[in-house]
Amino acid sequence: MCKTVNLLLILLSVMTWTVESKNSVSGDGEWPYTLQVAYENTYQKGDVRDGDSAILTLANLGGIKVNGIDVFVKSNKSGGAGEFTVTANEKIIASLSGSFKDWTGTFDNSEYHSIPLLQSAQNGVYNLSVSLEGTENSLHIEKYVITYEPLPAYTVTLVNGNQIYDAITESAGGQGILLPVLPDWDKWRFVGWSKTEFWTIYEMPELFYSGNTYIPDKDETLWAVYVFEPDNKLYVTDLESGEYIYTNRVSNMALTGVPQSGIMNFAPVDIDDFNQIYFVEFAAQDTAYITHLATGTPIGYLGTQMAAKTSPWLVYHNGEETIFYTVINNKNYVLWLNIMNGVGSNVHAGLVQASTLSSPMALRYPRQGADEPAFTCHPECGMGIDTPEYETQERIVQFGIYELHIQNGHKKLIIR
């Protein structure tokens, strides 16, 4: 009688970090898309004497399952001891102390030996560190080998109103998806994406903005969010001096604050935030001066750096487009909101070289009147849809002195 054995094949990935200097390692193999790595040794390269320490830190792992951690180490000819500590998500998950002889059976100053540190697999790892504290001269680290199960590729379902707009699956686990921009819906302006579905609310919800990468930790649904815009103008079409918000119409971000250390900040548009309001004086249609309204600080530049000094800004304007720029060494530098440095860890506003001046930048009016902004995931329902505070399928449509209550297909008209 023959027996059939079904084997579950688990595909494991391996990343190897080899020590190159007292503060750097080089990587080989595969690792999560967003990973950040750092290494630091208080002495030199991989050498750890009594009282020295070396630590490898991995961040932004995205929730992987770590199956094994091996550190390749050698000792002095007749000595070498220390304590390894492994931390995941700021909690100690493994430790090993003793001498090199305790771990391998003999001291060895010629060959590196693999020292396994992890006794059981760890799920949901976002941050990982492996440290060695020396207690006896000396231990010498060659490399770290980490075996793990990569994240699955998750699917994000995007819902627009009462219809599914798209379902996007990550090209690889942890790589995320690029959130799209949707067109406006009548008087409702698209502003971003929400993890929760709602009808009419009057406080800005937590939003994930278009043009940014969204990294899910499971199969998820995001709802398109719109803000109600009345008939009054939103963006400046005729240039005249006044108080404005300098904004990107696509990302719904705005310049905020004053220059510090050569850069500025940006934030989601808030028409009530005085920190986002600037007085723009147009000396001519193509020249302007900018002042932060709340502090009176001039917004200017020194070379390619932002500076708190009065500087003339050149102006490109076309319809609702308005962008400020200057010319340095015969090259255009525009005042832009989303600038990243070489590794993307410092996103700021400031001057960036541009080959074209056409852009989604605009001057937006601050709040006009006392009406509260209304946000919704259901612009197809129009204004007046309130989510009941209790858990039912009831919807309430307000018009004049009447309220139409709709619940499970039944309708009831109430005079208020």
SS3 content of the chain, % helix, strand, coil (to 5): 5, 55, 45
CATH architecture, domain 13-149: Sandwich (2.60)
Beta bridge partners of 289: 281
pLDDT the model gives residue 111? 96
pLDDT the model gives residue 383? 63
Please tell me whether residue 191 adopts helix, strand or coil conformation: strand
Please tell me whether residue 379 adopts helix, strand or coil conformation: helix
pLDDT the model gives residue 173? 80
Q: How far apart are CA 359 and CA 31, in angstroms?
A: 36
Instruction: Provide the H-helix boundaries in 114-248.
Output: none
The domains spanning 13-149 and 242-364 adopt the same CATH topology: no
Ramachandran angles phi, psi of 324, nearest 5°: -95, 140
Paired tokens of 282: 């147009």
Please tell me whether residue 103 adopts helix, strand or coil conformation: helix
pLDDT the model gives residue 370? 47
pLDDT tens per residue across all 416 residues of the chain:
444 434 344 578 999 999 999 999 999 998 887 789 999 999 999 999 999 999 999 998 888 899 999 999 999 999 999 999 999 999 999 999 999 999 999 999 999 999 999 989 998 899 999 999 999 999 999 999 999 998 888 999 999 998 999 999 998 887 889 999 898 888 888 989 999 999 888 888 889 988 788 988 889 999 999 988 665 567 899 999 999 999 998 888 899 999 998 999 998 888 778 899 999 999 998 999 999 988 999 999 999 999 999 999 999 999 999 999 999 999 999 999 888 764 334 678 999 998 888 888 999 988 665 456 789 999 988 764 444 444 445 656 554 455 555 555 454 555 55
HSE-up of residue 279 (Cα within 13 Å, Cβ side): 11
pLDDT the model gives residue 5? 39
pTM (two decimals): 0.53
Please tell me whether residue 107 adopts helix, strand or coil conformation: coil
Q: How far apart are CA 287 and CA 12, in angstroms?
A: 60
Paired tokens of 85: 């500590």
Q: Of 210, 271, 222, 248, which Cα lies nearest the Cα of 377?
A: 222
Instruction: Provide CB contacts within 8 A for 261, sequence distance 6+.
Output: none
Beta bridge partners of 97: 83
Place of tokens 């002095």: 76
User: What does the angle CA 230 – CA 211 – CA 172 come to, to the nearest 5 degrees?
Assistant: 145
Place of tokens 């043009």: 211
Place of tokens 């942890």: 174
pLDDT the model gives residue 386? 45
Domain 242-364 sits in CATH at 2.80.10.50
pLDDT the model gives residue 1? 41
Domain-wise residue ranges, the chain: 13-149, 155-228, 242-364, 384-415
pLDDT the model gives residue 222? 97
